[in-house]
Amino acid sequence: MQTFSSSFTFYKGGKLNLKTGIALGVPVIFGTVIGAQIATPINHEVFEKILGVVMLSMVLFLF
């Protein structure tokens, strides 16, 4: 609900590009569903290790 509210405020202010928002939003929705399906059956300890590696990779990518 908070995302909808802020998006609507940006839309009213003319700062929201709907075409770009939809183009980015659709893959995010599919990625969220697919990621949840992949992550659910993984063992908790294994998931934490995978998440740690991904987060460290992101830090290295940023710097």
**Pick from 1, 35, 4, 33: which is nearest to 21 by CA?**
4
Domain residues for the domain of 55 are 2-62
CA dihedral 54, 30, 34, 10 (to 10 degrees): 50
**pLDDT band (50, 70, 90) for residue 21:** confident
Average pLDDT rounded to a whole number, residues 17-24: 89
Percent above pLDDT 90 for the chain: 52
Number of domains in the chain: 1
**pLDDT band (50, 70, 90) for residue 34:** very high
